[in-house]
Homo-oligomer: A and B are copies of this chain.
Amino acid sequence: MENEKPGARRASPQRPTLRDVARLAGVSHQTVSRAINDKGEIDPETRRRVLEVAQQLKYRPSRFARGLVRPATTTIGLIVDDILNPFFPELIAGVISAAEQRSWTVLISTTQKSPSKELELLRSLAGQVDALIGYLSQPDEAVAAAVEGVPLVVMHGRPDHPVFAAVEIDPRPGIQAAVERLIAHGHRRIGMVDCPGADYPVRLDVLREVAAAQGLPEPVVTDADQSQDGGAQGLSRLLKCDPDVTAVLAFNDIVAMGVYRSARSLGLSIPGDLALVGFDGLSFGDNLDPPLTTINIDKYRMGELAVSQAEVLLAGEKPPIAMLTTDLLVRSSA
């Protein structure tokens, strides 16, 4: 019996299917499948003909239908704050590389500093992937609700969450080394341009502890926006609070760049008048004048670790927090 409506039943501009090709080539859809997938058991001539028709129809297999039938390929989603911050590309590179090793594919999205979009993005991505990795800012409960059971690895630096896996940064070794170096250079009054709420364990707390342990006076602190402008304003505020500060720890390298600018306009030389230590170990810090001494994080490794965590999650277990250490990358600003 002939089918009345070959392909006319479908909504207008739809993609051709295996059956469409089959019909036009006068074979069964199964034969087309053989041709497309280069299976052996097929006459070279029919193969050629089928392929020709397929090309003419611009046939392309549906990834959904394939996914349904073929052995599972795992896909992970990665959400970052702001891809323009050089911190993330390195992290992303680590994630991609680790995923590639496992033949996973990764889907990347960014909220571009608009935290309001985070939940929505999380929700939409959660429907498309097997696991998620995120540098997030929304509250854990909201996040948990949004991902609805999809395994999630967080890197946002937060206390332990019951179901998420996490990779965290231990700022202590780096801060310890930085403080020791500052002391060795005669500094005692340390200031910090902080960006509260964005880190855990909290860098400032660690700085205070280390300073206290070394017999230093309580560090002077000012809160700033996580940006160059924030850093610039932060330094002038810091100096207004306490003009005797001779060394500054910036929340991160971006903030540190603001400190450079501010120092320059204040007529302060680095490291002569002011020693400066950044945080993150961004490579471009090496091109600042003078090159920025900074507490380094292995961002690439961080991405790799996140993928490992996701792997464990996917296996149905909850891994312990993956800890990443820090060290001091000595350049010239301190």
A150 and B60 in contact, given A83-B93, A84-B93, A86-B86 (Cβ under 8 angstroms): yes
Instruction: Indicate which residue in B60, B65, B127, B261 contacts A68 across the interface (CB closer than 8 Å).
Output: B65
Which chain B residues lie closer than 8 Å to A61 at the CB level? 127
Instruction: Indicate which residue in B105, B112, B257 contacts A287 across the interface (CB closer than 8 Å).
Output: B257
**Interface status of A58 (Cβ within 8 A of chain B):** yes
**Interface status of A236 (Cβ within 8 A of chain B):** no
**Interface status of A196 (Cβ within 8 A of chain B):** no
- The smallest C-beta distance from A146 to any residue of chain B, in angstroms, reads 14
Which chain B residues lie closer than 8 Å to A261 at the CB level? 287
Instruction: Indicate which residue in B67, B93, B108 contacts A67 across the interface (CB closer than 8 Å).
Output: B67
**Interface status of A45 (Cβ within 8 A of chain B):** no
**Interface status of A92 (Cβ within 8 A of chain B):** yes
Which chain B residues lie closer than 8 Å to A68 at the CB level? 62, 64-65, 68
- The smallest C-beta distance from A331 to any residue of chain B, in angstroms, reads 13
Contact across chains for B63 and A128 when beta carbons are under 8 A apart: yes
Instruction: Indicate which residue in B92, B127, B148 contacts A83 across the interface (CB closer than 8 Å).
Output: B92
Residue of chain B at shortest CB distance from A103: B124
**Interface status of A289 (Cβ within 8 A of chain B):** yes
Contact across chains for A109 and B106 when beta carbons are under 8 A apart: yes
**Interface status of A97 (Cβ within 8 A of chain B):** yes
- The smallest C-beta distance from A170 to any residue of chain B, in angstroms, reads 24
Contact across chains for A107 and B110 when beta carbons are under 8 A apart: no
**Interface status of A96 (Cβ within 8 A of chain B):** yes
Q: In the complex, what distance in Å separates the CA atom of A287 from the CA atom of B257?
A: 7
**Interface status of A269 (Cβ within 8 A of chain B):** no
Which chain B residues lie closer than 8 Å to A127 at the CB level? 61, 63, 66
Residue of chain B at shortest CB distance from A261: B287
Q: In the complex, what distance in Å separates the CA atom of A125 from the CA atom of B105?
A: 9
**Interface status of A30 (Cβ within 8 A of chain B):** no
**Interface status of A55 (Cβ within 8 A of chain B):** yes
Residue of chain B at shortest CB distance from A70: B64
Contact across chains for A107 and B109 when beta carbons are under 8 A apart: no
- The smallest C-beta distance from A240 to any residue of chain B, in angstroms, reads 24
Residue of chain B at shortest CB distance from A55: B149
Interface residues of A in 244-287 (CB under 8 A from B): 257, 260-261, 283-284, 287
**Interface status of A89 (Cβ within 8 A of chain B):** yes
Residue of chain B at shortest CB distance from A284: B284
**Interface status of A239 (Cβ within 8 A of chain B):** no
Q: List 13 A-B contacts (CB under 8 A).
A: A60-B148, A64-B65, A64-B68, A83-B89, A97-B112, A106-B107, A106-B108, A107-B107, A107-B108, A108-B108, A260-B287, A284-B287, A287-B288
Known: A86-B284, A105-B128. 20 other contacts (CB 8 A): A58-B149, A60-B149, A60-B150, A62-B68, A64-B64, A64-B65, A64-B66, A65-B68, A83-B89, A84-B89, A84-B93, A86-B86, A92-B108, A105-B107, A257-B287, A261-B287, A284-B284, A287-B288, A288-B289, A289-B289
